[in-house]
């Protein structure tokens, strides 16, 4: 079956440090989406990446899609307490079925 | 615009019973998908409906079923409940199938005792 690896599973950082989560697929993707879920909340859409090698930025967040369209990363610069939550990659395969990654739970130490 | 509405918010059932969860999508959205979220398994895709037709289905047993009505509202049903069905069930809507973003509801927390 299609494997979705997201690493790390947990990340604790000091406020102000950077954070990166990685998402890997064993199969070429149609596109990838990223969502953030705050504790006690529901997933909220962050961004979609479609093109090979695509890089998109949202303020302190940088999203990257691998050249082979099999992996992606989300990097947060200078984390803030508002960044706390679980970040999910969502893989979209050719059949348009969405598969969520296992998520990376980010906690911030003030 | 009102967001995605899921009812009920909380539900407690006993093993062997069945349950029906409801989801009202954002007005104008025709695609509704359902997800099960548990601490151990994360977010798992159940099924997706578009214009009353099931377009995709996840790897769940036949006890899990769903449907979509002509007004795009959707229901999912779980029959013969098991303890392992305890989870947060999330519904998401989008304008059309597989077109982001998915807009999630607040979920229904199901506890099976």
* Nearest-CB residue to A103 (from B42, B92, B103): B42
Q: Quote the pLDDT of residue B100.
A: 81
Three-state SS at B84: helix
Q: What is the average pLDDT value for chain A, to the nearest integer?
A: 92
Query: For residue range B74-106, what is the model confidence (pLDDT) as tens digits?
Result: 999 999 999 999 999 999 999 876 678 899 999
Mutation for testing the B interface, residue in A98, A104, A105 having most B CBs under 10 Å: A98
Q: Quote the pLDDT of residue A2.
A: 52
Query: For residue range B16-25, what is the model confidence (pLDDT) as tens digits?
Result: 999 999 999 9
Q: Kindly indicate the confidence band of residue A5, based on its pLDDT and cuts at 50, 70 and 90.
A: confident
Question: Is the Cβ–Cβ distance between A35 and A87 less than 8 Å?
Answer: yes
Q: Is A98 part of the contact surface with chain B (CB cutoff 8 Å)?
A: yes
CB contact under 8 A, A43 and B90: yes
Question: Is the Cβ–Cβ distance between A72 and A78 less than 8 Å?
Answer: no
Sequence length of chain B is: 113
Q: Is A25 part of the contact surface with chain B (CB cutoff 8 Å)?
A: no
A102–chain B nearest CA distance, Å: 6
Chain centre to alpha carbon of residue A70: 13
Query: For residue range A18-56, what is the model confidence (pLDDT) as tens digits?
Result: 999 999 988 888 889 999 999 999 999 999 999 999 999
Q: Quote the pLDDT of residue A96.
A: 67
Q: Quote the pLDDT of residue B103.
A: 95
* Nearest-CB residue to A45 (from B58, B100, B107): B100
Query: Is residue A1 pLDDT above 50, yes or no?
Result: no
Q: Quote the pLDDT of residue A64.
A: 98
Query: Is residue B113 pLDDT above 80, yes or no?
Result: yes
């Amino acid at each position: 079956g299609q494997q979705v690896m997201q690493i790390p599973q947990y990340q604790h950082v000091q406020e102000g440090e950077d954070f990166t989560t990685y998402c890997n697929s064993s199969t070429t993707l149609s596109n990838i989406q990223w969502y953030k879920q705050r504790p006690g909340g529901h997933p909220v859409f962050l961004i979609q990446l479609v093109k090979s090698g695509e890089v998109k930025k949202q303020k302190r967040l940088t999203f990257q899609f691998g050249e082979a369209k099999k992996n992606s990363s989300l990097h947060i610069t200078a984390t803030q307490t508002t960044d706390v939550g679980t970040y999910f990659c969502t893989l979209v395969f050719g059949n348009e079925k969405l598969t969520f990654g296992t998520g990376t739970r980010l906690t911030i130490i003030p | 615009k009102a967001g995605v509405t899921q009812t009920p918010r909380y539900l407690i059932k006993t093993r062997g019973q069945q349950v029906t969860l409801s989801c009202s999508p954002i007005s104008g959205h025709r695609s509704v998908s359902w997800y099960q979220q548990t601490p151990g398994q994360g977010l798992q895709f159940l099924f997706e409906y578009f214009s009353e037709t099931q377009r995709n289905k996840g790897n769940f047993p036949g006890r899990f079923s769903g449907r979509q009505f002509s007004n795009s509202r959707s229901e999912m049903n779980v029959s013969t409940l098991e303890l392992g069905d305890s989870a947060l069930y999330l519904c998401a809507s989008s304008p059309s199938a597989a077109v982001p973003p998915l807009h999630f509801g607040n979920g229904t927390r199901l506890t099976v005792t």
